[in-house]
Structure 1
């Protein structure tokens, strides 16, 4: 698929899946629903995924609902007080046009709040792809499926921090 053969929105994706229209660049292979993997849903109607970011690990369960997000037994507004962190968590739902469609229950451990928010977003993204495999393409295009592997560099001996040296003393 060339760079010009991209799907710009979910409406375009639906048209490609239906086989009714191609994109501007030319022929695009239509996604056959029969080739998509089966949804991974447990007996309670939930999809489970693990998300990771920095030193944080989030276990995430999603099920159809009205958009209630619970993190470690607390409401998302209480646990993630900063609006930026709540925005990070909601990005996967906004890209997939599923805002207020799923209830999320997450448990997260390790790291700080920023890493935990990224881990929850990664877990929500993976759980959405398990629940609705058709959403994989737009979420992958947004870059949410790939785990952000950047971690803090370790401190080395003979150094003040990872790379910072001690102040040089001439005498």
Structure 2
């Protein structure tokens, strides 16, 4: 937790340091930002038994996130700290988590896998597309590709894995 605290402070202070050879290892400021985001998720996982996700907590964190987003120097830190709670509450207990009669599909890996190539193609062919428009165009396409991937590749592969695991040796 101390490491995350230091990273959030460094990110807040916007320390710009790129060591020699940064072209090979990336920009240090981005490294701090992404490591802080990763550690936030890791801490939520580590303390999942101690963190109580509630609608009230999510509403408070959403409000705090919006306030932080209006103040540029603390926007990223606020999104990292408060936004993570909102995202995880939504994923674990939000309104979409209780959609009963729908078939279970896990498109998360496909969404991750196809999101970047789809966005890249859209940016290439629609040069200058605003980020919000890019999101509204790319997200449904990536979700569709993720669903197709789940249906045709991932779910059958998991069924084979489960069948192989059940076979006597």
Q: Shorter-chain TM-score category?
A: under 0.3
Q: TM-score, normalised by structure 1?
A: 0.23
Question: Which one scores higher on RCO, CA 8 angstroms, separation ≥ 6?
Answer: 1
Higher strand share: 1
Higher helix share: 2
